[in-house]
A and B are shown apart, each in its own frame.
Chain A
Amino acid sequence: EDQVTQSPEALRLQEGESSSLNCSYTVSGLRGLFWYRQDPGKGPEFLFTLYSAGEEKEKERLKATLTKKESFLHITAPKPEDSATYLCAVGNSNYQLIWGAGTKLIIKP
């Protein structure tokens, strides 16, 4: 069964304190691993797509990495505006996205 698990459920950091969010997955026929950011009351905002183990992508203070079983979203020197829920999803062989429950990130000034 296709499944995505994100950890931790919630993460509180001080401004400037770097950390990582985890997304572990099992899927038949991986068609990409996707990271999104979602602010309260808004739709998910696309961040990254990763397709192959070893692939890395960066955007400002965020870097996403991928292995055969999990992905990490590294956040370096975060700022309060990085506070949001970060969602991970994998694409399966039926062109569907299987979603994790998300990690709620809170950055305190």
Chain B
Amino acid sequence: SAVISQKPSRDICQRGTSLTIQCQVDSQVTMMFWYRQQPGQSLTLIATANQGSEATYESGFVIDKFPISRPNLTFSTLTVSNMSPEDSSIYLCGVRTGAAGDTQYFGPGTRLTVL
């Protein structure tokens, strides 16, 4: 498995501002994923972040709104840009280590509230 930390754990932001969420893993991982989980719902994949290449975004998510960086094999950031109340959600970082096959492990999440 992998130990994953996220910063911040929660934040309250004003409409129109941006927030960058960090994901740190205690070991090198092949694939990192960013998910959104809205209240009472399951996980929705935003994008897949691979080191050394552009992130791959899912339908309905665009780079201008959710820019992602993956500077090395243990770290990634997700920025939520020009926020609106509809962006209020839990944002989760997931990783696939390779050693555990296709299993993904998750960080504790970042709870974002946009006023």
B41 at the interface (CB under 8 A from A): yes
Size range of the chain B interface in the assembly: 20 to 34
Q: Does A49 contact B (CB under 8 A)?
A: yes
Whether B52 is near chain A, meaning CB under 8 Å from some CB there, is no
Restricting to A63-87, which residues have a CB under 8 Å from any CB of B? 87
Number of interface residues of A (CB under 8 A): 22
Chain B nearest Cβ from A106, distance in angstroms: 15
Cα–Cα distance between A74 and B105 once the two chains are bound (Å): 22
Q: Given known contacts A42-B108, A43-B92, is B41 in contact with A49 (CB within 8 Å)?
A: no
B107 near A32 with CB under 8 A, answer no
**Chain A: interface secondary structure?**
loop
A residues adjacent to B (C-beta < 8 A): 31-32, 34, 36, 41-46, 49, 51, 87, 89, 91, 95-97, 99-102
B96 at the interface (CB under 8 A from A): yes
CA distance A45 to B103 in the complex (A): 11
Instruction: Say yes or no: is B53 at the interface (Cβ < 8 Å to chain A).
Output: no
Q: Are B42 and A43 interface neighbours, CB within 8 A? A: no
B41 close to A101 (CB less than 8 A): yes
Q: List 17 additional contacts besides A46-B105, A89-B43; criterion CB under 8 Å.
A: A31-B102, A34-B102, A41-B109, A42-B108, A43-B92, A43-B106, A43-B107, A44-B106, A46-B104, A49-B101, A51-B101, A87-B42, A87-B43, A96-B45, A96-B48, A99-B43, A101-B41
B42, B48, B103, B107: the one contacting A34 at CB < 8 Å is B103
